[in-house]
Structure 1
Amino acid sequence: MDRSGSTPPRTPGDLKQEILRVYNAVNQGIAGVGVSRQRVDLLEDRILILAKHQRVKALATLDSAHRNITREVDVALLDEGKRRLAQEFKDKIGLPVLVVLKDYDPDTEIAATVVVLDAPLVLTESRRHP
């Protein structure tokens, strides 16, 4: 972040790569494994991340017989992931995060994350390679 409190300009591709690295690292820290697929879309003051996660094996084992318990654990893991992601986006990327919203479907192992920022993203045009 620069002295004005805004993020320095960067290309959309550079920012997406930074976001993907941080998102994957946060998931590795929580689940012990990274995501198998992820996609980032940048939308003015919002970031949308769709990712294919690997279900925590212990939770997958208990889902059919104890979904009420695994649902509570899923929500607790989502809450911790949102807290860590917001902090890492602020600290490592310098993004002015207002809130992180996230949902996860255990059947498809797909998560959708929306990061709402305090200010629009400041981006430069993509670099062209000769």
Structure 2
Amino acid sequence: MPSLGEFKQGLIKDYNDVNNRIFGIGVVRQKVDVVGDKLIIVALHKRVPSLAYLSALNSNVSELADHYLIKGFKNEFKQLLVEKYGFDVMTIFKDYDAEAELSATVVVMQKDVRDYL
């Protein structure tokens, strides 16, 4: 059974791996907090250059691309949390601010996160 610190370190790597797979770029830094039945991940990202370029051409198209990329991320991350950690995930909320290059991800579980560890 991993300690909470070991779990967070593993989750940071997993989050970065999924992000790298989908966006082709890792995160600059991230912080994971456990609050009862929630995982809260705040991450500083580098904007994908092609999306930054697309945003300059047509912000509506880049927002739509961001939406579907985030949707894909949430699906893959949820699958990882269920398969690797055995979590009963109720939902995942994720938002990304392209200007600040910050994202916030909140994973809501069926029970306290520490009960799974």
TM over 0.5: yes
Runs of 4+ in 1 over 3 A off after TM superposition: none
Residues 1:33 and 2:25 are matched in the alignment = yes
Residue number in structure 2 paired with 1:6 = none
Structure 1 CA distance for aligned equivalents of residues 12 and 108 of structure 2 = 16
Q: Which structure's residues are more often strand, by fraction?
A: 2
Partner amino acid, structure 2, of 1:101: F
Assess if the C-alpha contact under 8 Å between 1:31 and 1:56 holds in 2.
Answer: yes
Residue number in structure 1 paired with 2:39 = 47
Residue number in structure 2 paired with 1:20 = 12
Residue number in structure 1 paired with 2:90 = 98
Instruction: Give the structure-2-normalised TM-score.
Output: 0.92
Percent identity over the alignment is 37
| Greater Rg by CA | 1
- Higher relative CO (Cα under 8 Å, sequence separation at least 6) belongs to 1
Assess if the C-alpha contact under 8 Å between 2:39 and 2:113 holds in 1.
Answer: no
Instruction: Work out the number of aligned pairs and report it.
Output: 115
Match of 1:112 among 96, 104, 111: 104
Cα deviation, 1:37-87, whole Å, max 9, x if unaligned, reads 000000010000000111111110121330000000000001000010000
Deviation, structure 1 residue 19: 1.2
Instruction: Provide the alpha-carbon RMSD of the alignment.
Output: 1.2
Match of 1:121 among 100, 113, 117: 113
Residue number in structure 2 paired with 1:4 = none
Residue number in structure 1 paired with 2:67 = 75
Partner amino acid, structure 1, of 2:80: E
Deviation, structure 1 residue 122: 2.4
Assess if the C-alpha contact under 8 Å between 1:18 and 1:93 holds in 2.
Answer: no
